[in-house]
Amino acid sequence: MKHLKYFESVNDGEPKVGDYVIVDRKTELDVYYFTSNNIGYYEQSIHSNTMPYHILFDDVPEEIEKKFTYDCRNYSREDIKYWSRNRKELEIILSTIKYNI
């Protein structure tokens, strides 16, 4: 039961500034492969009706860096698949997806 306790805070309520997120938006494949396999950080909320979530990513590859603004991109609520205050929980989710567990 110890491991189930980890996931109690995943997708709890709405994403809040300071949460770690996994984004699932399938518009540009190269960006999609990067954002769906890496954990982003919900840095700030911006005044936008369509894309209010400003997500920061670490180590953006040079090939797609021009599609980001200072390693950040804006997303809508529907694009954010998982969020949590605890990065380790999202790392476990990414591992289970990667290894099809």
The domain in which residue 31 lies consists of: 2-98
Q: What is the pTM of this model?
A: 0.82
pLDDT (tens digit per residue) in 6-33? 556 677 788 889 999 999 988 888 899 9
Other beta carbons less than 10 A from residue 101's beta carbon: 7
Cα distances (angstroms) measured from residue 36 to each of 30, 48, 58, 90: 10, 23, 13, 11
At residue 8, the pLDDT reads 63
Residues 85, 71: Cα–Cα separation, whole Å: 20
Q: Is the pLDDT at 74 greater than 60, yes or no?
A: yes
Q: How many domains does the chain have?
A: 1
Q: Is the pLDDT at 101 greater than 90, yes or no?
A: no
Strand boundaries in 1-101, DSSP class E: 20-23, 40-45, 53-56, 72-75, 80-84
